[in-house]
Amino acid sequence: MVFERALPNVEGKRMVAVVVSYPPGAKSLPHRHAASAFIYAHVLSGAIRSQVGDDSAQIYRTGEGFYEAPGAHHRISENASETEPASLLAVFVLNANDGPLTTPDAAPGPR
């Protein structure tokens, strides 16, 4: 987390910014964010492959961005390169008391 602040002109809301860094070939587990969270992601370096909800997977390069609506399922979030690192800045606007920011899907396997 690189920034967190209550929004003074929007009662009950806060803004949180997180830098996500991926080594070459790295990926996040499929996940959801806090239920109230609207997220804008901006690629800082490299290339990020992302799939949100039922949209097709896209590759975003340095300087490009995408968003996630509240309640969206982030199915794919990974470095699109096997040889170069990648990073993004994710900016969340969410209810002041909503959290955690990210919850991975349950791991597949026997129960």
- Is 80 exceeded by the pLDDT of residue 108? no
Specify the DSSP class assigned to residue 46: S
Q: Kindly tell me the number of DSSP H helices and DSSP E strands found in the chain.
A: 0, 10
Phi, psi (rounded to 5 degrees) for 57: -65, 140
pLDDT in tens, 8-28: 999 999 999 999 999 999 999
pLDDT in tens, 72-101: 999 999 999 999 999 999 999 999 999 899
3 closest CA partner among 19, 17, 21, 14: 17
If you average pLDDT over every residue of the chain, what do you get?
Answer: 95
List of domains in the chain = 3-99 (2.60.120.10)
User: Mean per-residue pLDDT for 47-58?
Assistant: 97
In which band, very low, low, confident or very high, does the pLDDT at 3 lie, cut at 50, 70 and 90?
Answer: very high
CA–CA separation, 106 and 10 (whole Å): 34
